[in-house]
Amino acid sequence: MKLSAYHFILVTGAVLAVLSGCYYDNKEELHPELLLSGNCDTTVVIKYSTDIQPILNNSCGANNSCHGSSSTSGIPLNAYNDTRSVAVTGKLWSAIVWDGNASQMPQGSSSQINDCYQAKIRKWIDEGAPDN
Protein backbone atom coordinates (compact mmCIF):
# COMPACT_ATOMS: atom_id res chain seq x y z
CA MET A 1 0.00 0.00 0.00
CA LYS A 2 1.42 3.28 -1.08
CA LEU A 3 0.76 6.49 0.86
CA SER A 4 0.06 9.62 -1.06
CA ALA A 5 1.88 12.83 -0.16
CA TYR A 6 -1.31 14.08 1.47
CA HIS A 7 -1.58 11.01 3.72
CA PHE A 8 2.12 11.18 4.56
CA ILE A 9 1.79 14.81 5.66
CA LEU A 10 -1.38 14.05 7.61
CA VAL A 11 0.17 11.09 9.44
CA THR A 12 3.41 12.99 10.10
CA GLY A 13 1.48 15.97 11.45
CA ALA A 14 -0.60 13.75 13.74
CA VAL A 15 2.51 12.04 15.11
CA LEU A 16 4.23 15.38 15.76
CA ALA A 17 1.13 16.74 17.48
CA VAL A 18 1.01 13.76 19.83
CA LEU A 19 4.72 13.88 20.58
CA SER A 20 4.76 17.62 21.28
CA GLY A 21 1.67 17.77 23.49
CA CYS A 22 1.50 20.27 26.31
CA TYR A 23 3.47 19.39 29.37
CA TYR A 24 3.81 21.97 32.12
CA ASP A 25 5.95 20.26 34.76
CA ASN A 26 9.50 21.42 35.03
CA LYS A 27 12.53 19.31 35.86
CA GLU A 28 12.93 20.79 39.34
CA GLU A 29 9.30 20.12 40.21
CA LEU A 30 9.58 16.52 39.06
CA HIS A 31 12.97 16.02 40.76
CA PRO A 32 13.29 18.50 43.63
CA GLU A 33 16.34 16.64 44.92
CA LEU A 34 18.28 18.30 42.09
CA LEU A 35 18.19 21.53 44.09
CA LEU A 36 20.29 20.00 46.84
CA SER A 37 23.91 20.92 46.52
CA GLY A 38 25.05 17.64 48.01
CA ASN A 39 24.78 18.77 51.60
CA CYS A 40 21.96 19.04 54.05
CA ASP A 41 23.29 21.27 56.79
CA THR A 42 20.55 22.06 59.27
CA THR A 43 22.96 23.47 61.85
CA VAL A 44 22.84 26.83 60.08
CA VAL A 45 19.99 29.32 60.27
CA ILE A 46 17.25 28.09 57.96
CA LYS A 47 15.90 31.04 56.00
CA TYR A 48 12.49 31.29 54.45
CA SER A 49 13.71 33.05 51.31
CA THR A 50 16.70 30.83 50.51
CA ASP A 51 15.72 27.48 52.04
CA ILE A 52 11.97 27.09 52.56
CA GLN A 53 10.53 29.00 49.61
CA PRO A 54 12.62 27.08 47.02
CA ILE A 55 11.55 23.77 48.57
CA LEU A 56 7.89 24.75 48.43
CA ASN A 57 8.19 26.16 44.92
CA ASN A 58 9.66 22.96 43.60
CA SER A 59 8.04 20.31 45.77
CA CYS A 60 4.59 21.79 46.29
CA GLY A 61 3.98 23.54 43.02
CA ALA A 62 3.87 26.90 44.77
CA ASN A 63 5.64 28.49 41.83
CA ASN A 64 3.64 26.68 39.19
CA SER A 65 0.50 24.69 39.61
CA CYS A 66 -0.73 23.36 42.93
CA HIS A 67 -0.22 26.05 45.56
CA GLY A 68 0.46 29.21 43.59
CA SER A 69 -1.52 32.43 43.91
CA SER A 70 -4.10 31.28 41.38
CA SER A 71 -4.31 27.70 42.63
CA THR A 72 -7.53 25.85 43.11
CA SER A 73 -6.21 24.13 46.25
CA GLY A 74 -7.18 27.09 48.40
CA ILE A 75 -3.82 26.88 50.18
CA PRO A 76 -1.36 29.22 48.51
CA LEU A 77 2.27 28.68 49.52
CA ASN A 78 3.91 31.18 47.21
CA ALA A 79 4.13 34.04 49.73
CA TYR A 80 5.55 34.17 53.24
CA ASN A 81 2.36 35.20 55.10
CA ASP A 82 0.31 32.42 53.52
CA THR A 83 3.00 29.84 54.17
CA ARG A 84 3.49 30.94 57.77
CA SER A 85 -0.23 30.76 58.51
CA VAL A 86 -0.33 27.13 57.34
CA ALA A 87 2.93 26.34 59.16
CA VAL A 88 1.90 27.65 62.59
CA THR A 89 -1.34 25.66 62.56
CA GLY A 90 0.61 22.45 62.00
CA LYS A 91 -1.16 21.74 58.72
CA LEU A 92 1.98 22.20 56.61
CA TRP A 93 3.95 19.72 58.70
CA SER A 94 1.09 17.20 58.79
CA ALA A 95 0.77 17.30 55.01
CA ILE A 96 4.51 16.79 54.58
CA VAL A 97 4.95 13.88 57.02
CA TRP A 98 1.64 12.19 56.22
CA ASP A 99 0.51 11.87 59.84
CA GLY A 100 -3.17 11.69 58.91
CA ASN A 101 -4.09 15.18 60.16
CA ALA A 102 -3.97 16.76 56.69
CA SER A 103 -4.02 15.65 53.07
CA GLN A 104 -0.80 13.93 52.06
CA MET A 105 1.46 16.13 49.98
CA PRO A 106 2.73 16.07 47.36
CA GLN A 107 -0.69 14.90 46.26
CA GLY A 108 -0.69 11.72 44.21
CA SER A 109 2.93 10.99 45.08
CA SER A 110 4.04 7.59 46.28
CA SER A 111 6.67 9.14 48.54
CA GLN A 112 7.15 12.08 50.85
CA ILE A 113 9.54 14.90 50.13
CA ASN A 114 13.10 13.90 50.99
CA ASP A 115 14.50 13.83 54.53
CA CYS A 116 16.67 16.90 54.01
CA TYR A 117 13.72 19.03 52.97
CA GLN A 118 11.70 17.72 55.89
CA ALA A 119 14.52 18.55 58.33
CA LYS A 120 14.84 22.09 57.00
CA ILE A 121 11.10 22.72 57.16
CA ARG A 122 10.87 21.22 60.67
CA LYS A 123 13.69 23.44 61.93
CA TRP A 124 12.16 26.53 60.33
CA ILE A 125 8.77 25.78 61.94
CA ASP A 126 10.39 25.04 65.33
CA GLU A 127 12.14 28.40 65.19
CA GLY A 128 8.80 30.17 64.80
CA ALA A 129 8.62 30.21 60.99
CA PRO A 130 10.51 33.51 60.70
CA ASP A 131 10.52 35.75 57.63
CA ASN A 132 14.26 35.89 57.16
pLDDT of residue 128: 94
Cβ atoms 96, 113 nearer than 8 A: yes
Exposure pattern of 27-58 as b/e (b: 16+ CB <10 Å)?
A: ebbeebeeeeeeeeeeeeebebeebbbbbbbb
State mean pLDDT over 23-47.
65
Percent over 70 (pLDDT), the chain? 63
pLDDT of residue 7: 64
pTM > 0.75: no
